[in-house]
């Protein structure tokens, strides 16, 4: 079967890591027919728009996109393209799996899937200033908005993911002791959803500050974590740090009709064009895409090939302490898949 997807190479190191990712996807034997579309600064230069309508139409029609990092120009007038994509396609779940690959890192047994609510919470965009005594910006207000529907769908997503992937536990992370309404509703809804999975998945809840500490003390105690937008944003970067940094952490943005798969890192302008970026995160994002398309065997083989290339063949890019180029790493993974 041939899968149809939208390919967005993106900005900075995006095209370099994406071409190596296509190389290893081909080596899995799974067929793709890609519609390549621009976004980000590359698109702004070509079309005058950060996300051209043709790119949106392609994603809408195909439902699956593999995306490189996009640079959002600094300054007023430009919304983050990534936030705009989430809103446009109602990508309510941001998933970031992180597990130990490099054996000489600080933690050996990390295997955590962070499920972050991607559309609501403090990132709802409801903000204003209150003027006092002639100071137009005397008070700043950013509202955290959580709907019962939004809480239920993200928590249910986490539990269903846990069941389908033989995960043992879901930890709901919140701040219900202080944020009585947003935190309280999240927890109330979560406990109700957990009842439907009783006996299949263990459930616990943890206050966010304790979770941040427990993650660096004993990360192996966590399995699947589900939390609101801001906490998920912060904790998922902390979790990336536990397994060797941005070069090895993928992410997926999932909605009911569309899935967009990407590395967690940005366009790395400091090393763009030098052929030294680590393509692992983008390749692992492609593995998540394969799972999403129910190509589970290819996904498993791709992850294993990446692990073997790093651990056994010791082909490592500079961020992992090696000297391999982006292309040499792609060749190593493709050879492991052959």
CB 86 to ligand NAI: min, Å: 11
Both tokens of 108, joined, read 């050996």
Closer to ligand NAI at the Cβ: 9 or 190? Answer: 9
Least Å distance, CB 266 to ligand NAI, is 2
- CA separation for the pair 144, 132 (Å, rounded): 23
* Annotated catalytic residue, options 11, 92, 175, 205: 175
- For tokens 């004993």, name the residue: 218
Catalytic position from the list 109, 135, 196, 209: 209
Residue nearest ligand NAI, CB atom distance: 266
Q: Any idea which residue has 């009842």 for tokens?
A: 195
Annotated active-site residue 123? The verdict is yes
Residue number with CB closer to ligand NAI (37 or 171): 37
| Nearest CA among 163, 156, 166, 186 for reference residue 174 | 186
| First-to-last C-alpha distance (Å) of the chain | 19
- For residue 233, the minimal CB distance to ligand NAI (Å) is 11
Dist. CA 270–CA 296, nearest whole Å: 35
Strands 169-174 and 93-99 turn out to be unpaired
Instruction: Tell me the backbone φ, ψ of residue 107, rounded to 5 degrees.
Output: -120, 140
Minimum CB distance to ligand NAI smaller for 85 or for 182: 85
Question: Which residues are at the interface with ligand NAI (CB under 6 A)?
Answer: 13, 17, 69-72, 82, 246-247, 262, 265-271, 277-278, 281, 319
User: Residue 121 or 245: which CB sits closer to ligand NAI?
Assistant: 245
Q: Distance between CA atoms of 271 and 197, rounded to whole angstroms? A: 46
Residue 268 Cβ vs ligand NAI, minimum distance, rounded to whole Å = 4
Query: Among this protein's residues, is 291 annotated catalytic?
Result: no
Q: Which of 233, 291, 319, 331 is catalytic?
A: 233
Strand intervals (E) in 68-126: 93-99, 111-117
Q: Examine the residue annotation and report whether 209 is marked as an active-site residue of this protein.
A: yes
Residues recognised as catalytic: 123, 175, 209, 233
């Amino acid at each position: 079967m041939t899968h149809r997807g939208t390919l967005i190479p993106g900005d900075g190191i995006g095209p370099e890591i994406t071409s190596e990712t296509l190389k290893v996807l081909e080596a899995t034997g799974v067929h793709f027919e890609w519609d390549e579309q621009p976004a980000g600064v590359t698109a702004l230069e070509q079309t005058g728009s950060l996300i051209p309508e043709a790119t949106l139409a392609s994603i809408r029609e195909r439902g699956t996109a593999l995306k490189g990092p996009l640079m959002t120009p600094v300054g007023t007038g430009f919304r983050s393209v990534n936030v705009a994509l989430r809103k446009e396609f109602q990508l309510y779940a941001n998933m970031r799996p992180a597990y130990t690959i490099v054996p000489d890192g600080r933690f050996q047994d990390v295997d955590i899937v962070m499920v972050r609510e991607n559309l609501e919470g403090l990132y709802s965009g409801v903000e204003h200033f209150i003027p006092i005594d002639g100071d137009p910006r005397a008070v700043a207000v950013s509202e955290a908005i959580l709907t019962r529907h939004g809480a239920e769908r993200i928590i249910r997503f986490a539990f269903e993911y846990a069941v389908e992937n033989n995960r043992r536990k879901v930890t709901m992370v919140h701040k219900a002791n202080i944020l009585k309404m947003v935190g309280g509703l999240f927890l109330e809804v979560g406990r109700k959803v957990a009842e439907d999975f009783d006996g299949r998945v263990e459930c616990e809840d943890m206050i966010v500050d304790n979770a941040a500490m427990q993650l660096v003390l004993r990360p192996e105690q966590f399995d699947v974590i589900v939390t609101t937008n801001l906490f998920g944003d912060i904790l998922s970067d902390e979790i990336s740090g536990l397994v060797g940094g941005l070069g090895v952490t993928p992410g997926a943005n999932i909605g009911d009709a569309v899935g967009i798969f990407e590395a967690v890192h940005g366009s790395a302008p400091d090393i763009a064009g030098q052929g030294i970026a680590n393509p692992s995160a983008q390749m692992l994002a492609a593995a998540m895409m394969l799972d999403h398309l129910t190509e589970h065997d290819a996904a498993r083989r791709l992850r294993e090939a990446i692990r073997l290339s790093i651990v056994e063949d010791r082909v490592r890019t500079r961020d992992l302490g090696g000297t391999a180029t982006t292309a040499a790493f792609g060749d190593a993974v493709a050879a492991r898949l052959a």
